[in-house]
Amino acid sequence: MSLSQLARTIHESATLKLNQTAAQLRDKGEPVIHLGGGEPKSKTPIDAIVACTGVLNSGDIKYTPVDGIPALKKAIIRYTEEHYSRVVKPANVIASSGAKQSIMVLLHSILDPKDEVIFPAPYWVSYPEMVKLAGGVPVVVTAEDGSFCPTIEEFEAAMGSYTKAVILNSPNNPSGVMYAPEFVSDLVQLCEKRDIWLIMDDTYNRLVFDGRQPVNCYEYTKTDIEQSKMVVINCVSKMYAMTGFRIGWAVGNKEVVTSMATIQSQQTSSPATPSQWAAVGALNGVQSSIDSLRLTLENNRNILMDHYRAFPGVKVTCPMGAFYTFPDFSAYYKDSQKLSQFLLEKVRVVTVPGKEFGMEGHLRISFCGGAKETTEGIERIRWALDPTSPNELYLGDRRLVRDWM
Ligand code: GLU
């Protein structure tokens, strides 16, 4: 088949593929535990459902402005003022079909062929592929000290004449680290000095633990938004557990936002109308669901961390936010794809190989499911790997005997 060169270089989203694998195995009755997921278990907030069903019941579901209905833009403007202390105009805001589309149309708006986009490892699986789709070249910065946080000097060393943008996702998927405020400040200054776009992927920034405050990138710049090359990405997917609605947004200067809307108009038109109304409901409604999700996640994280502490040979950084851990299993397996496959085959636990996030030897293990499921999942993993574990394990009434050690 004569598929394009571009199509042949793009890899499928590992995270989405594994969601499918888990669902298929469950449909077959397999006792699968999905620790590879990227979506909270909680239900859509009632205010979102009411707003969405209101428009569905009207039966009047038509095209909307490409960059979002006025009510959604208004809600996003209010959100930006409340959480970033920035007053922006409707022309600075675009709503898209998920944060992914906002990032994608942004990359299409700013990249010329061969332009480079820098991001730190570990990174969200989609960044390299999205940059390639937009004709750019992904450049990964890996911290020399083995941490998940490269220094500002390491970022600067990666910058060259082709560097067009930097993407920072904090808290980070898959490690859960938050980059230090001093680092974010330095990065904002560096990007301004070098006239580079800074894409702040704030998808998880309401889900931070231990009383931390999300880092607000606007605090570190005095540049007027119309002169600024900083673009902030957000979505309803994670903080309101509304992944299926596919609503994300970007806030940036008017010129880039207009270009993003032009590209979106040719790509998909507006985001789905009922979903936009659901997002309005969520953003304007009672916000307590975010707090209860955060507390649930924090509790799950603590449970998981206790299990890691008792797991010989596993090194892990305690997540400060989001809902992922990124432990280093290289004492057991160097090849993360083989390890992930092994765990799926032997104990029916879905994990995402670290290789997909730019770091071998690690696995992404999520804690966005229930505490019981998370506990059972990590216990199964330990049973499969730790030679000091008992020789047999029951998955329901299925008896497993460890015959691989
Ligand atoms: N962002 C989530 C994840 O990393 C959802 C899936 C995706 O779009 O990658 O699992």
Q: Are 3 and 319 in contact (CB under 8 A)?
A: no
Q: State pLDDT tens for residues 143-160.
A: 999 999 999 999 999 999
Which residue segment(s) compose the domain that 89 sits in? 46-284
Atom of ligand 1 nearest to the CA of 203: 1
Atom of ligand 1 nearest to the CA of 13: 9
State the CATH number of the domain containing residue 338: 3.90.1150.10
DSSP annotation of 271 reads P
**In this structure, are 210 and 245 located in the same domain?**
yes
Residue in 217, 109, 218 with CA at minimum distance from that of residue 164: 109
Domain boundary among 284, 319, 351: 284
Atom of ligand 1 nearest to the CA of 124: 4
For the chain, the farthest-separated pair of C-alpha atoms sits apart, in whole angstroms, at 64
pLDDT of the residue at 380: 97
- Residue with the smallest CA separation from ligand 1 atom 3 is 38
pLDDT of the residue at 206: 97
Give the C-alpha separation, 218 to 363, whole Å: 33
Does the C-beta of 13 come closer than 6 Å to ligand 1?
yes
Give the C-alpha separation, 94 to 97, whole Å: 10
Pairing of strands 352-353, 363-366: antiparallel
- Residue with the smallest CA separation from ligand 1 atom 4 is 38
Domain boundary among 254, 284, 314: 284
Q: Considering its fold, how many domains does the chain have in total?
A: 2
Does the C-beta of 369 come closer than 6 Å to ligand 1?
no
**The pLDDT of residue 1 is above 80:** no
Q: State pLDDT tens for residues 208-227.
A: 999 999 999 999 999 999 99
Pairing of strands 349-350, 137-141: unpaired
**The pLDDT of residue 47 is above 90:** yes
Give the C-alpha separation, 106 to 100, whole Å: 10
Domain boundary among 284, 311, 336: 284
Percent of the chain with pLDDT over 70: 100
**In this structure, are 209 and 108 located in the same domain?**
yes
**In this structure, are 305 and 158 located in the same domain?**
no
The pTM assigned to this predicted structure is: 0.96
**In this structure, are 160 and 122 located in the same domain?**
yes
**The pLDDT of residue 390 is above 80:** yes
Q: State pLDDT tens for residues 312-368.
A: 999 999 999 999 999 999 999 999 999 999 999 999 999 999 999 999 999 999 999
Does the C-beta of 16 come closer than 6 Å to ligand 1?
yes
- Residue with the smallest CA separation from ligand 1 atom 5 is 38
**In this structure, are 268 and 299 located in the same domain?**
no
Ligand 1 centroid – CA 48 distance (Å): 22
Sequence-separated (6 or more) residues with CB below 8 Å from residue 274: 52, 55, 56, 61
Mean pLDDT of 153-174: 98
**The pLDDT of residue 404 is above 90:** no
* Strands of 93-189, DSSP E: 93-96, 116-120, 137-141, 163-169
Ligand 1 centroid – CA 295 distance (Å): 21
Pairing of strands 398-401, 163-169: unpaired
**In this structure, are 68 and 199 located in the same domain?**
yes
